[in-house]
Copies of this chain bind each other. A is one copy, B any other.
Amino acid sequence: MSDEHRPGLTGSPLDRADHIRQDDAALAEVQGSLRARLLRLDDLFPALDEMGALGWGSIAECDERHELLFLGFDGETPCFAPLDEEAPSAGQRAYEVWRHLAQLPPGQAAIYGTARGLIEWHRRHRFCGSCGGGTILGKGGWQRTCGGCGAEQFPRIDPVVIMLAEHAGKALVGRQSRFPPGNYSALAGFVEPGESLEEAVARELKEEAGVEALSVRYLASQPWPFPGSLMMACIAPVADPEITLDPNELEDARWVDREQVRAALSRDPQAPFTAPPPFAIAHTLLRAWAGAGE
């Protein structure tokens, strides 16, 4: 996949340095380093500097009541993010952060996404699912351990399939009632226990739009930390284009051709719909399908 087709929120320049997380002494040393820097956040949102880049401060800026998450090294520089465990998770209210993501260069969006994903996970896992005991942060923020039963937990990431059904030179896009007016995207859904991602694509297309996938072709993936998904984009040819909508999932779905998709991606005011923003993998998927920019 060319750079132009690389999904948003990927391409972090940080070395995650797993060996440091595993080693309490090494972790304390990088945390105490004068080079260490702290991501500036305004609650869950990035506090951008005057150039529209991520803002960074010194570790000393971290509130005493907060924990530190070790994001990795930017070259020689250890990077951390602050965690206020007691604040609530923002859940899926992703729209609020879109204006920040639209400003950030891709690699910086990926750094923010890593911090955001970790913060969301910690806030939703303060207690142990097995015994209800309180859990304690470990390994620089990449683990939680139950103070009761000792169970270890690692960051939760939900695999999600996002896909275009394809028929006779057209692709299927749909909209949920919560979308901005006129906005259509690829259909999507969570992978369930007992199915492959290809089976999840076929099931979701059938459930939401009543179309039967003949095959499934994987294209690309993207982390989506609102609150914690891994989006996997696919294309699935279908034999019969007749749509049977599930009104609980979708407000509308329609077949669009490559010219219409290219118009939407280039924000042509004559386009029959508006597309998701460039940092969303639905955009990457539509772009790859339409052959835009190739």
Residues of A within 8 A of B (CB): 7, 9-10, 12, 16, 18-19, 22, 89, 110-111, 113-115, 117-118, 121, 123-134, 142, 151, 154-159, 190-199, 203, 207, 218, 220-223, 225, 228, 230, 232, 246, 248
Contact = CB atoms under 8 A, between A and B. Distances in A.
Nearest to A189: B18
A130 B123 contact: yes
Given A158-B157, A207-B18, A89 B194 contact: no
Nearest to A141: B193
Contacts of A228: 193
Nearest to A88: B130
Contact of A126 (B9, B132, B225, B232): B132
B193 A223 contact: yes
A51 B65 CA distance: 61
11 contacts: A113-B194, A114-B192, A114-B195, A126-B129, A126-B131, A132-B133, A142-B192, A157-B158, A159-B159, A196-B223, A196-B230
Given A142-B192, A193-B225, A232-B232, 7 more contacts: A10-B196, A111-B194, A113-B194, A114-B192, A121-B193, A125-B130, A193-B223
A132 B123 CA distance: 12
Contacts of A225: 193-194
Nearest to A206: B15
B230 A199 contact: no
Nearest to A281: B196
A32 to B, nearest CB: 24
Contacts of A10: 195-196, 198-199
Contacts of A221: 196-198
Given A22-B248, A221-B198, A193 B129 contact: no
Q: Which of A7, A121, A159 counts the most B-chain CB atoms under 10 A from its CB?
A: A159
A222 B155 CA distance: 21
A220 B196 contact: yes
A155 to B, nearest CB: 5
A161 to B, nearest CB: 10
B155 A7 contact: no
Nearest to A131: B127
B130 A89 contact: yes
Nearest to A215: B1
Nearest to A195: B223
A194 B134 CA distance: 26
B130 A126 contact: yes
Contacts of A156: 156, 158
A201 B129 CA distance: 29
Nearest to A234: B218
Contact of A197 (B111, B131, B232): B232
